[in-house]
Structure 1
Amino acid sequence: MGRDDDTTGAQTRREFVTYGTALVAAGAVAGCAGDDGPTDAPDGGSDGTGGGSNGTDGGSGGNDGGTEPDREEDKGTGTQTRTATDSATPYSVTMEPVGEVTFDAVPEAWIAFCGEFADMGVALGQADGMTGIGGADRYYTGVYDELPGVSVDGEPLERHSEVRTKEQFYELENDVHFYDPEMLINWFDWDQADVDEIADNVGPFVGNLIFRRSDEWHDYRYYTLYEAFEKVATVFQERERFEAFSELHDEFVADLQTQLPPAGERPNVFLTFEGTNEPETFSPYRLNDRGTSKKQWRDLGVADALAGTGVENLSTENRGELDYENLLEIDPDVLLIRGHERKSATEFRDTVLAYMEDHPVGSELTAVQTGRVYRGGYLHQGPIHNLFLTERAAKQLYPDTFGEVTGDAELFDRQRVADIVTGAFREE
């Protein structure tokens, strides 16, 4: 990538951040081709989640459909246990692919590539320090409207809505960048020298592409949502907030799981992307991927309707689509369509579902006949997003137990979430 020496030559690296381990070398270039060229894959367009392409999910992952919260118990890896009030001593955070990063003070200005890491920062009470985002159309801030006292200033996100070039990184002068640098290399034509330059002259990278597990270049460790959240909490020295969120999350998921029907009585689910109001073909996702974008479905123990079909997962390498005849062969109990997150549940049903009900082949699908066609959720979800999406998914899958998805039933305590974000929980 080029550099404008007039705008960047005088910049120097912030003194309070140092790298302990070099970045890994760039992997094989595997950019995602979308409507706007290389971006982070196909959940974009009319979802309001990307002009062009927004990440795909897929492949290698581990078991899906378990009944335990989606957490891996290796806490403490490269993290400290101090809180923001105990941050005078240098501390370090270790996260692949970068390795160890040492901080001499808690970062104030920061940026994230997409919704999952941006939402983590907000959850930790750091919203005021967010200077922009790598893809504003993949970051849903509407959920904060339901949390008393929680908000995000939209002006920086509008002004710096797609931060992906070195020049932008120099301009914003952030103390830390929650980006996976290998993603910048493989999707946006950076090279290792570009990554090192920004890390040296502006601020370090701490991030890992966690929403899917299908990219061939991602040959290093993945993290679950709460493992990654813990790393961000350590960056901001907000251990207490992280533990409060972790406790709330575990209680919420455990409570839902105690109410689930036996495994044999749960619906099978086909998750897909199709961003138009009049869908004719569908890009398949596989639920056996352990990326964070599927977390709610795993926690709710659903079966993948594509299991045993030989249909491959949507990924950078696989851009296949299914038509209605293909879907009819699978005939899932529930059809979840990504690409419509700017619509309400009612708006989705009045457009996408209504079109499918009138379609000569689509109308034969069991899910269409029973009205069990729903929005498929955000691709990039952080801990606050995940609470709302899990609540929605519970209603979509088990309406007899948790209420209709168009209803107003609340399955978790909004005020408790807000109190953690605002810090009021410390006064209890």
Structure 2
Amino acid sequence: MTVFLVFAAVIVLLIAGIPIFAALGLVAIGILAIFEGNVSSIADTVFSHLNKPILTAIPLFVLMAQIMIRAKVIDDLYNFAHTVVGHVKGGLGVATVIACTIFAAISGSSVATALSIGSSALPQMKRFGYRERDALGVIAAGGTLGILIPPSGPMILYAIVSEVSIGALFLAGIIPGLLLALVFAIFCIMQASSRKDVSAPARASLWTIARAFRRSVWALLAPPLVMSGIYFGIFTASEAAAAGTLYALLVAIFIYRNFGFRDLYECAYATMRTSMMVFMIIAGAAVFGHAITIIRLPFGITEAVAEIGLGPLGFIVAVMALIFILGMFLESIAIILITTPILMPTMAHLGIDPVWYGILLMVNLELAMITPPVGMNLFVIKGITDAPLSEVVKGAAPFVLLMLICLAVLIAFPALATWLPYSAGFGR
């Protein structure tokens, strides 16, 4: 009953339009006032959670993405992917998925990925006979890869709340992210092959491919620079973010030569706004986690699971079903902050790997981006076209099924997520 009341209180506040950090903080203050009689522990709780060096990774990764976008480094990505695979029937869909995959590894944002790639991909796909519904679907689904492929904002947030290594999570997201991109690409080819009105541009010459590669190589090098440094232990996640930001800045200034002090100010200002929002949310989540620990809510769930006899697999399936339903109504950050503090003790009791669970959570949050009524990517894609929202939903529907299948595969084969981080030396 207590679990239901806490969940209900937070969800009602969110539906009422109250910001996430405020909703979590208000519920926490209410709990502390009732059960402790004072709220004096809030300041120490907030300070202890924000006084962590790893938090510097958030503004640095955001700044890296802002610089790459503002310098128009990203604009060459879709052109390169289109040049390489566009001649294949369904190749434009594959190019969209490839561009989304690479952009996701730079921006860490699903919405930014869908918006940036969609504006370039949609006109081309419609030009070569793709149904608008199909084109909108692949753009909306491809954009979700920004949550799973590192560096990912939601992944960093989950790592902070759960106290799991960010480096381990980044590496864990690579294979599932590429697997999901491969499944999307294969589906695009199959979908286009079944339609006679879909055509493809002529095969590009080797010279054209080489020229497109030369223009996009600086964007292509960014993800390997960040991830290889983490994998080989050259630097931590925060140092990787700093290296990536420095790389983006040098490319923008000396290679593209279209980045000045005014641009740097705009990027820094946007980064500050985003980072402050995230830090406020972390502060609210910290107080919320402290409050539910005071009333032993997580431990009550653990005891209930033990009494029912629900094993690790049954628990994971039940949690994934719950998060899928929550994803239809709540935003991904809210889901992470509400569920993670409550579920972590139970997962520890059942011996569930938090890195593996984190990847399952990210895939489920990707689903939330394209499932109505509150799928954020659906509305973003709707904003760049005149098509009705129902067409965007119908186009994204097959990808929802594909993602559910991939989620089931990751549940059945945890090593797809855990092998890479543990082979790199991140302990269990």
> Please, what TM-score do these two structures have when normalized by structure 2?
0.29
Bigger helix fraction: 2
- Larger relative contact order (C-alpha < 8 A, sep ≥ 6)? 2
